[in-house]
Structure 1
Amino acid sequence: MKLSVVATLYCSAPYLDEFHARVTQAARQLAGDDYEIVLVNDGSPDDSLERAIGLTRIDRHVAVVDLSRNFGHHKAMMTGLASSRGELVFLIDSDLEEEPEWMGDFALQMEAQSCDVVYGVQANRRGGWFEQFSGALFYRAFRLLTGVGQPDNIVTARLMSRRYVDALLLHEERELNIGGLWVVTGFKQVQRIVKKHATSPTTYSLSRKISHLVNAVTSFSSLPLVFTFYSGLVISLSALVYIVYLSIRYAFIAAPPSGYTSIIASVWLFSGLIIFFLGIQGIYISKVFSEVKRRPYTIVRQIYGHHDGEGPRP
């Protein structure tokens, strides 16, 4: 099979018919009749699943992977990639904020530059000042703490070769961050500037962004653990120097003044630091706990659709 188009469904019902029509047209221009459209229902609360199943009845190129519940966007994307069969795989969101027609331009650039991945990057991040500021802060913090060179304002849309997708699927961690995995998988990857549309309000609140950053950093770097060691070392040396200073002052100058406020402030400060450092270690321990159990990161309830007369997908 020449081309697979992979998309996830979550509250996608208003866009699904137009998405299918536009993807079909773009796929036919690129691959003729040799393509498939893999839709992964990530526990969508609306009727996205029913609409998608309806597409499988009228279009043999469509397959629907129905997950047993909502597992999250990144895990659903990986499940869709694992279900794809094309020599080229185009990954895209189904809410039409990213244009299905990009796949033709991506394919031309892939051929011209002999690369394995062409991915979209926004020239200017959409949203207000807080959205732009928090987005820029996330990418800078992620690169600083992990050393992984993930570009700013990257979007989901990307065209990938089969060998790259197979290599990407070798990553088997349960608490995955797909943005980092895209980078560390390697191969020659080139970017293309795109303009992302705004069809719906973002679902990423500030708390979700912070949680996403914590998960991303702890998935790719042990630097926070190293930071706790050096922080403890600096605090211990500072305390030792202060003890020496107080001893000299008490012996040769005068007794240091007593102060209840300073004592309480010091206790609160160091107690907070201890709890903070224990929390960092706890995050890593929880990740180890999750990984060693080897639970599947998604569970497929049912697969709908037929391909080239082969019957249901396995």
Structure 2
Amino acid sequence: MTVDLSIVVPVLNEQESVACFVDAVTPIVESLGLRYEIIFIDDGSTDATADIVCGLQRNDPHIRLIRLSRNFGKEAALTAGLDFSTGAAVVPMDVDLQDPPSLLCEMVARWREGYDIAFGQRVERRSDTGTKRVTAGLFYRVFNSISGHPIDANAGDFRLMSRAAVDATLVLRERNRFMKGLFAWVGFRSIAVPYERPARVAGTTKFNYWKLWNFALDGITSFSTAPLKIWTYVGGSVALIALIYTAVIVAQTLIFGRDVPGYASLMVVILVLGAVQLMSLGIIGEYLGRMYMETKQRPIYLVKDTAGFPPSQDRADGQFVPRDAVRAAE
């Protein structure tokens, strides 16, 4: 069956949300008159998420399931969904319905007008905590100020992409994935679709501030070398200050016969320089670690099993384990 619209939904321990999502999305997509599929990617859930999706799939041929062999992270799960999608347009969505299904109508309308990407842009985030709103705004400002490929502020993964935009994104097979940055990097004709972000309908978020910090760090290091370059200027500034201070000490000693400052001044200089060196080494280490992961060329994800896909969609392109191989191993 030819598919017009693929909806890609990464899930992790979302047994309370899956059925609600299907009930909310199905009537809206059917009202558009499009042939569609809903692809759930189970990213190593330990609850009944996969079983619930399988139960829904038995009664609804539009539902597909991809089960990854373990938890690879949302970015890898989203990549798996894009790999398996066949629609002329593809929409990644969160299962918690904070990405309003009603927005699909406007996104499809923009796609029919000729836009390759119609991305959801949050104009109001009352459902987020004050801390998260502040840190999110700070991240977008920092990222866009140092990256050569800025991303749209308050735009997440929720967007409609044409098949051309999806195929271009899938050419990028880097292991440390920051999907919002990849979506921006490929370009194509885009338009914002503003919306107010509601609260979750069920379950709890799987992100905490530590994960969000690492996610932001991945994004910055993936799309900018500014953190590396800045230490050239920091080092040059510290060296200049040290040279001036040295000249002052020498002058004082020659003219006034004063001794070099004592223990306290020496310790301050040593600690400051040591801190600068360790910070610079830490930044270099972040980039070096990511280079190390890329050189190993491990697959982005591995598939444990699939359900609801036609046999013709089983592929062996080196990025996932084909279903037949999994069955043979079992």
Query: Quick check: 1:53–1:304 contact (8 Å CA) kept in 2?
Result: yes
Query: Quick check: 2:107–2:160 contact (8 Å CA) kept in 1?
Result: yes
Could you list the per-position Cα deviations for residues 161-206 of structure 1 after superposition, in whole angstroms to 9, with x for gaps in the alignment?
0000000101110011111111111001111111111115544333
Shift of 1:26: 2.0
Query: Quick check: 1:37–1:63 contact (8 Å CA) kept in 2?
Result: yes
CA distance in 2, matches of 1:94, 1:75: 16
Name the SS for the 1:243 alignment partner: helix
Query: Quick check: 2:91–2:161 contact (8 Å CA) kept in 1?
Result: yes
2:26 is the counterpart of 1:3: no
CA distance in 2, matches of 1:159, 1:312: 22
CA distance in 2, matches of 1:211, 1:3: 32
Q: Which amino acid aligns with 1:159?
A: L
Which residue is equivalent to 2:180? Answer: 179
CA distance in 2, matches of 1:77, 1:145: 26
Which residue is equivalent to 2:240? Answer: 237
Query: Quick check: 2:6–2:90 contact (8 Å CA) kept in 1?
Result: yes
CA distance in 2, matches of 1:212, 1:61: 32
2:291 is the counterpart of 1:288: yes
Alignment TM-score, normalising by the size of structure 2: 0.89
2:24 is the counterpart of 1:22: yes
CA distance in 2, matches of 1:77, 1:228: 34
Query: Quick check: 1:305–1:313 contact (8 Å CA) kept in 2?
Result: no
Which residue is equivalent to 2:55? Answer: 54
Which residue is equivalent to 1:13? Answer: 15
Could you list the per-position Cα deviations for residues 62-90 of structure 1 after superposition, in whole angstroms to 9, with x for gaps in the alignment?
11010011111111111101100010112
Structure 2: stretches of 5+ with no match in the other structure:
316-330
Query: What's the % identity of the aligned pairs?
Result: 29
The ranges of structure 1 where at least 4 consecutive aligned residues each deviate by more than 6 angstroms after the TM superposition are: none
Name the SS for the 1:7 alignment partner: strand
Could you list the per-position Cα deviations for residues 214-245 of structure 1 after superposition, in whole angstroms to 9, with x for gaps in the alignment?
11111111111111122111111211111112
Q: Which amino acid aligns with 2:275?
A: G
Which residue is equivalent to 1:102? Answer: 103
2:279 is the counterpart of 1:269: no
Shift of 1:313: 4.7
CA distance in 2, matches of 1:211, 1:70: 16
Which residue is equivalent to 2:321? Answer: none
Shift of 1:101: 2.5
Name the SS for the 2:8 alignment partner: strand
CA distance in 1, matches of 2:138, 2:204: 20
RMSD, matched Cα: 1.7
Alignment TM-score, normalising by the size of structure 1: 0.93
Could you list the per-position Cα deviations for residues 251-292 of structure 1 after superposition, in whole angstroms to 9, with x for gaps in the alignment?
113314533222112111111111111111111111111001
Which residue is equivalent to 1:141? Answer: 142
Structure 1: stretches of 5+ with no match in the other structure:
none
How many residues align? The count is 310
Which residue is equivalent to 2:115? Answer: 115
CA distance in 2, matches of 1:206, 1:13: 23
Q: Which amino acid aligns with 2:147?
A: T
Shift of 1:45: 2.2
Query: Quick check: 2:156–2:180 contact (8 Å CA) kept in 1?
Result: no
